[in-house]
Chain A
């Protein structure tokens, strides 16, 4: 009951390794057989999964309604890009204002820049969390949204550092499938281990009942600051990967729409479910691309409709409303994937069929 029997654990480990091998084979074959557009979507799935996981840690696990994710992504994307760009590139890019001299020769390899992106986003997350995590619920959402917007406007105006509204161009496309899925697996493993430890129980306890958690000796403020900071680390790394795949970034990339997309991944996947964030990322990222056809001109018989840019977001908003009305807990609720659950499915289905074939919801 408490620990899996060792036989099951070995079986589950073998299944996990086999799945990882399958994933590796897929990542190896995908660029050979799929066009660049599809590879980019597969890449974005991993990046969005990192972003979803990090927001889920803040909102789903620790229960802090944060709308500031785009801001922390922006920090990550800019930090990484400014570290990767060579002095030659930098000297050509700043045309409105001269670049800050200390920034000119600052240079780091890609992986170091990813780490720095995460660390700096986490640092700003920590800094901002100290005053605003004293707020709760909707107030916290508004404060984080405000912070994110302030940051965006700072980026657009601190021309000597960020090149202002022109943005940064010519970032090398470092984010290959191996890089994005490697980062996802590392972050995923860290989050799983963290949430399975007793500290994970503490984070969820703070979400479920803060007063009871305090009484049980939990320093709830510190716990929330920690969860928020770790989440911001993920947002920074995700933002950096995003910049390194699109190769050009500017402040308009990191508006509330970006936060909203990630929020949708988390809500549709299931608040508080790690598995849910991965599933949500696959579904939302794919649909965001697939639904582009609704923005094209449509002709059905004599009926003709002009393409309306932004139609996708209308459909997405409706989708989110539908999820909130009909399935508030999202796809996974707070449940997690496990091999035991998957392997018990065939027997469960057989039992269900044997007992008259009336499917019963949930178990």
Chain B
């Protein structure tokens, strides 16, 4: 599908992520129908749409859990040339620099908070697993210590330091969401996907989330794409918004354009509301 607005493609080099004509079928059901979209480097972009619109499916395509029927995903790491990541295994996509959180929190529940974050850091570790069996590799010992210290520092920065030795599953809900973000950051990504970060949060918590997401982007030098139903969060933080409905891209633009777009209103509220 052609892009709906008149954005020029001249600064395409600045895209951290480009989806081109992505289509996914599940049996007879078309979950995502030739969707093309992009995320600018350093931007916070939003992906919205009614339930079942295909938002999480799009995330699963980007992170390598689904192989698209047609189309491709292109990712550009910082200071590198674009790479096609379509069909790569999830762990390779993470290594390339894409991290994500999940709609239904997926922590390593039996591990401590620190262990969860350290696990995220493993992908950047160069020491081999067997080097830790005998204490005769000073490099491996140093690296293990650094991973531990960096994980602790990351928890400190995200305000989770007091939970450091607690079991991940025992944390309050909001802290679990934060921990999932901390774990994703431990993989040292340049592009972060957040799947409904405000789900289950009260208005005050989601107001704090706005600042938190911006701080994340600035401090960790990230580009962010988020799925969210909380329109206050989406309109407040996203610089560019993409709207999916029934697997199709129906609109994109900044928050003002999306708010006044009749197709978006129709998708969310029905035909009468759009023509009222």
Q: Which of B63, B108, B125, B183 has the most CB of A within 10 A?
A: B108
Contact flag A218-B164 (CB < 8 Å), given A199-B132, A212-B107: no
Of B135, B149, B183, which one neighbours A216 at CB under 8 angstroms? B183
Which of chain B's residues have a CB closer than 8 A to the CB of A219? 89, 91
Cβ B91 vs Cβ A194 within 8 A? no
Of B111, B118, B120, B132, which one neighbours A194 at CB under 8 angstroms? B132
- B85 within 8 A of partner (CB): no
Q: How far is the CA of A218 from the CA of B129 in the complex (A)?
A: 13
Contact flag A218-B91 (CB < 8 Å), given A204-B110, A334-B110: yes
- A344 within 8 A of partner (CB): no
Nearest CB of chain B from residue A84's CB, rounded to whole Å:
27
Which of chain A's residues have a CB closer than 8 A to the CB of B165? 1
Q: How far is the CA of A199 from the CA of B89 in the complex (A)?
A: 20
- Which segment, of B95-103, B208-216, B239-247, faces chain A? B95-103
Count contacts between A and B, CB distance < 8 Å.
Answer: 104
Cβ A209 vs Cβ B108 within 8 A? yes
Which of chain A's residues have a CB closer than 8 A to the CB of B122? 198-199, 201-202, 216-218
Closest to B132 in A: A197
Cβ A205 vs Cβ B108 within 8 A? yes
- A247 within 8 A of partner (CB): no
Interface of B is mostly: helix
Contact flag A198-B135 (CB < 8 Å), given A208-B108, A214-B91, A334-B110: no
Interface string of B171-202 (1 = CB under 8 A from A): 00000000000011011000000000000000
- A226 within 8 A of partner (CB): yes
Interface of A is mostly: helix
Closest to B131 in A: A197
- A272 within 8 A of partner (CB): yes
Contact flag A220-B132 (CB < 8 Å), given A198-B119, A201-B122, A334-B110: no
Of A197, A207, A208, A215, which one neighbours B63 at CB under 8 angstroms? A215
What total of chain B residues lie within 8 Å of the partner, measured CB to CB?
42
Q: Which of A2, A194, A217 has the most CB of B within 10 A?
A: A217
Of B91, B116, B121, which one neighbours A220 at CB under 8 angstroms? B91
Interface string of A279-312 (1 = CB under 8 A from B): 0000000000000000000000000000000000
Q: Could you list 11 A-B pairs, sorted by A, with CB under 8 Å?
A: A2-B148, A198-B132, A201-B108, A201-B118, A201-B119, A204-B108, A205-B108, A208-B107, A216-B99, A217-B122, A334-B110
- With A2-B114, A198-B144, A215-B90 given, can you name 19 additional A-B contacts, CB distance below 8 Å? A1-B164, A194-B133, A198-B125, A198-B132, A199-B122, A201-B108, A201-B122, A205-B108, A208-B107, A213-B108, A215-B94, A216-B94, A216-B183, A217-B120, A217-B122, A217-B123, A219-B91, A272-B110, A334-B110
